[in-house]
Amino acid sequence: MFYSSVVFIILLTQLNGGFIPWLKSFLIQVFGKFLPLEMGIVLFYTGGELWRRKLQFSGRGKRWVITLMIIGAALIIFQGAQLYHPSSGWISYALLGSISTLVGGFIAFAHVRLRRGEVVI
């Protein structure tokens, strides 16, 4: 019921201004403007899930997973650089990103270590 209600409200509000122009604008924004970012996220997480679910303990396919994740990360960084390019203070953004990555990696490592007793890379 929740999703049906949301769709109904969107349709009702957009029919007065025209649903088709709104839908066209929405699809251009989603699939046109942010496509590298979306593809990067999909590739990065697909590589991680493939590794986690199927390949982690067999050791096969490690190069494919690494390649997928590197391409995904490159697309995310490419789109992120286009979207967030502050004229000043980029060093603080780079520092914040680096600290976030290190802390997030440490938390993920600790979580896997505590849960399984070992970390397979």
**Mind listing the pLDDT tens digit for each residue in 18-67?**
777 777 777 887 788 888 888 888 898 888 888 777 776 776 777 888 88
Q: For position 71, what pLDDT does the model report? A: 92
**106 and 117 fall within a common domain:** yes
Distance CA 43, CA 57 (A): 21
Residue 27 within any structural domain of the chain: no
77 and 43 in a common domain: yes
Task: Establish if 16 belongs to a structural domain.
Answer: no
Whose tokens are 């957009």? That residue is 14
Confirm whether 17 is domain-assigned: no
Residue 2 lies in a domain: no
Q: Of 34, 116, 32, which is closest to residue 75 (Cα–Cα)? A: 34
Asked if residue 23 belongs to a domain, the reply is no
d(CA 47, CA 63): 10
- In the chain, the largest separation of any two C-alpha atoms, in whole Å, equals 59
Q: What is the mean pLDDT of residues 69-90?
A: 76
pLDDT band (50, 70, 90) for residue 90: low
- Specify the number of domains making up the chain: 2
State the chain's mean pLDDT as an integer: 76
Answer with the residue of higher pLDDT: 72 or 107. 72
Structure tokens at 103: 């802390």
For residues 77 and 45, membership in a common domain is answered with yes
Residue numbers of the domain that contains 67? 35-85
